[in-house]
Every structure is written in C-alpha cells, then in structure tokens.
Chains A and B, each alone.
Chain A
Amino acid sequence: MSEIKKVKNLKEFSTSADRFEGANLLCPGCAHSIIVREVLNATNNDLILSASTGCLEVCTAVYPYTSWDASWIHIGFENGSTAVAGAETMYKALKKKGRLKQPEREPKFVSFAGDGASYDIGFQWISGCMERGHNIMHVVLDNEVYANTGGQRSSSTPIGSSATTSPAGRVSYGEKKNKKDMIAIMAAHQIPYAAQVAPNKWKDMVKKIQHGMAVDGPVFINAISPCTTEWKFDPKDTMHIADLATDSLVFPLYEIIDNHELNITYRPKNVIPVEEYLAAQGRFKHLFKDEYKYLIKEWQERVDEKWAYLNRREEARV
C-alpha cells in the first residue's frame, strides 16, 4: 500500500481515479481545485483531509453535497491543521495498541488552508503542529488575499496589490507591506520538508508531494493559486498567469530539506520581466500610472534580490 505511486509522465498520471468531485461551487477557472487534484492524485494511499474556512471549504461542502471522496473534516478557520494532527495522533495511538482494523493501510494526513488561514489566523496552530512533529502535510492555497470574504489583504498580499482593505486610489498604491516569507518561517521549525509549488508545474508538484508524504514528520507546502476573481483576470487564463508567476521568478519553485538543504527545482529558460506578470492582472493595474511606475522597478529589484538569495543558499547548503 505504501509504495510511492508511479507517475512517469502525464499520460500515466491521467489514469488516476480522482477523489475530488465536480459540481463544487468554486469559480470557473479557480486554481484551488487544480492544486487539490494534483495533490490527491499524487498518491494511492488512503487520505485523511481537512480544510480550514475559505473558498475551498465553503465551496466543496455545501449541504446536501460533499465533493470529497475521502475522510474530510472542517472545524474552523484557524484549526484545520490541528484537526488533522489530532487524527494522526489517534491513528498512532491505535496503531501502538494494535487496535487498527487494517494496520497495513497507511493513510496520509493532509490539511488544506488558504493564505489567510495559514499566514495569519491559523498561524500559531500550524506552528504548533510543526513544532510537535506530527506526521502531517499542510498545504497553503496561496491566492494572496482573503478571497472568500471579498478580497481583504492578508500578510501574504504583496506590495502594490489593490485589496479591499488596502485599496489603490488617489492617495494610495494599495498594499504597503511585503509578503511574509512563510516557507522560511516554517523551515525554521526544523521540519524535514518545506517547499513552494505551482499548479502549472504539475510534475514538480507531484514530486514534492510524494517526497513530503514519504518523509517522517511535518511538511509545509506553499502552492501559488491564481484567483480569477480577486487577481482580476479572465478565467481561461489561470494557467497562463501561473506560468507568468513561475517564469518571472515572482514565485520561485524550491524546496528546503531539514532547514539547511535548499534546492531550486525550476530554472526558467527565459526569465520574463516582472512587469509582464503584473500587467496581466487587474489587481496591479494602477501601478502602470506614471506616478506609481517606480514601484514596478522596485518589484523587479525585490524579485532579483530574492532569487540571488535563494541561489546563494542553494550553493552554500545552509
């Protein structure tokens, strides 16, 4: 049961039997479900799942329907991670006492949550799970905003983005604080694995999810999730926006093993200017006005700096 599923290529991947169902209420073109499908299809093991409050939870468990074909729990906004950690602790206890009915099955424990639920409101719960060493995986569906309640800023919202609580207008260019580096914070808990993934790089995603499910201990995954509604782009362009995000290095793909071995897992052949990524989304539209154009230059500098930092860390193995 617990062999790693063979996924040589996309054709082989497409033989997966999905455990996430359609006719959920996520927006057309929502990346949350693309990410969830790639994560669930990366394994054949049984799954114990949770979702913290947010678009994914709200849209997939509307009475009388569920879109989940696995054990799934939702409690509140902040505690999806601890719900799954509790289930994992119970599983371990029953196993130790020899009370599991099918001890040969090795379920995987995965908690899904938005950036609001992870970077802000569920932060201490996740930190607790990481520190206590539960054998769980926490996956952030990072759309850089509180999407489900209409687009308030979170500590994942990047500089210059217009959010409903930090709107761009005559006196402001929108969000003023830079995005929190959650991956570094989580890795600093000395967990065995932390990684950033993107739905357009499905193979990199599957590899990292499989690695994360194979290691013993807590795993943190940050998945970029382009949001057609809040980022303001046409639903058909979700994968195009994800490509711009990874190829402009705004969302570099990398992993951190045991908080010291950093590997960059994707190096775009042609790195595209950050400006192209920004220009494709309505949330950054105002940055192209003359008075705010300097912010685009600053954006590029920040991205270059972060990329150089990741490269230095990769080389130094620290």
Chain B
Amino acid sequence: MMKKGWDEFEIGAMLRTFDGKIDDIAGTLQEDRAYSENSSFVASVADWRINKPIFNKDFCIDCQFCWVYCPDISIISRDKKMIGIDMDHCKGCGICVEVCPTNPKSLLMFPEKSDEETELATWPAKNKETK
C-alpha cells in the first residue's frame, strides 16, 4: 500500500481496522469482515519462511491442537474442522507439526520451495515405534 508520511495526516486523523461497520465482531469470521488496508490481515509475512507446513487431511482427526497453538492465526478451522493453512500469515515456526498427535502426522514441515502434490504423494507411512 501507499504509505502517507507522518506529516501528511490531518490532526486527529483516524486509521480504521475495517471499512464500514461490524456490529458483532466476535461473531463475524474473517472471511465476512471488510478489512481495511490498515489491518495487518491484508499484509503478508510469507517471505519470512524457510520451511513451510503441508497439511495432509487424510490423517487429520480434527483435534484442533494446531489451531489453538498456532501463534499466527494461520490454521484455518471452520465448523470444528481443520481445513487448511493461511500461507500469507504462516511464519513457518513448526509448532503445529510438533503438537499434531496423529501417526503419521497430518502436518509436516518441508523446504519452502517444495511442491505440495509431490510431498502429499510421498507422505511418510505410519511410524511403528510409539510416537
């Protein structure tokens, strides 16, 4: 976005999180909010990542551990189901992979440049040793 310089604002100027009014914010999901250009929601930190998580829904039990422990609101869960990762906001920390309890894991880290389809096709098999 085009940034105004600090001295270009009128005194008392206001930057708003949303365009227009949202009456019940706690009851309005992200996709239904009109974020303004001043919410960090519209920004991206994708270029921070060296590694990225890939989600394999075949093994997922929808426990939501990844949702609650992701620091960056990047695990998208709707109607109690984990449905994907927000790759604009994911910083590649790897916490979601660590807390995923399935065997094999439903989330794994790969180098940022990896191809999702290839990785999903060669997903590791169940680990016989416990955990």
A33 touches B72 (CB 8 A): yes
What's the Cα separation between A33 and B45 when bound, in Å? 15
Nearest CB on A from B92, distance (A): 6
Point out the residue from A11, A21, A235 that lies within 8 Å of B95, measured CB to CB: A235
Interface residues as binary, B62-79 with A (CB distance below 8 Å gives 1, 0 otherwise): 111101111111100111
Q: Which residue of A lies closest to B75 (CB)?
A: A14
Q: Which residue of A lies closest to B72 (CB)?
A: A22
A45 touches B26 (CB 8 A): yes
Nearest CB on A from B12, distance (A): 16
Nearest CB on B from A20, distance (A): 7
Which residues in chain A, 44-68, are within 8 Å of chain B measured between CB atoms? Answer: 44-46, 60, 63-68
B91 touches A66 (CB 8 A): no
CB-defined contacts of A31 to chain B, threshold 8 Å: 71
CB-defined contacts of A18 to chain B, threshold 8 Å: 30, 73
B interface: dominant SS: loop
Q: Which residue of A lies closest to B49 (CB)?
A: A28
A20 touches B73 (CB 8 A): yes
A34 touches B71 (CB 8 A): yes
Nearest CB on A from B8, distance (A): 12
CB-defined contacts of A30 to chain B, threshold 8 Å: 71
Nearest CB on B from A56, distance (A): 12
User: B105 contacts the other chain (Cβ, under 8 Å)?
Assistant: no
Question: What count of chain A residues pass the 8 Å CB interface test?
Answer: 49
Nearest CB on B from A144, distance (A): 18
B65 touches A28 (CB 8 A): no
CB-defined contacts of B1 to chain A, threshold 8 Å: 64
Nearest CB on A from B57, distance (A): 15
What's the Cα separation between A238 and B65 when bound, in Å? 13
B77 touches A65 (CB 8 A): no
CB-defined contacts of A276 to chain B, threshold 8 Å: none
A28 touches B48 (CB 8 A): yes
User: A70 contacts the other chain (Cβ, under 8 Å)?
Assistant: yes
Contact surface of B with A, Cβ cutoff 8 Å: 1, 3-4, 6, 15, 17-18, 25-30, 33, 37-45, 48, 62-65, 67-74, 77-80, 86, 88-95, 97-99, 109
Given A22-B72, A236-B109, list of 10 further CB < 8 A pairs? A15-B80, A22-B73, A29-B71, A33-B73, A34-B70, A44-B26, A64-B1, A64-B15, A199-B69, A238-B93
Contact surface of A with B, Cβ cutoff 8 Å: 10-26, 28-34, 37-38, 43-46, 60, 63-70, 199-200, 202, 234-240
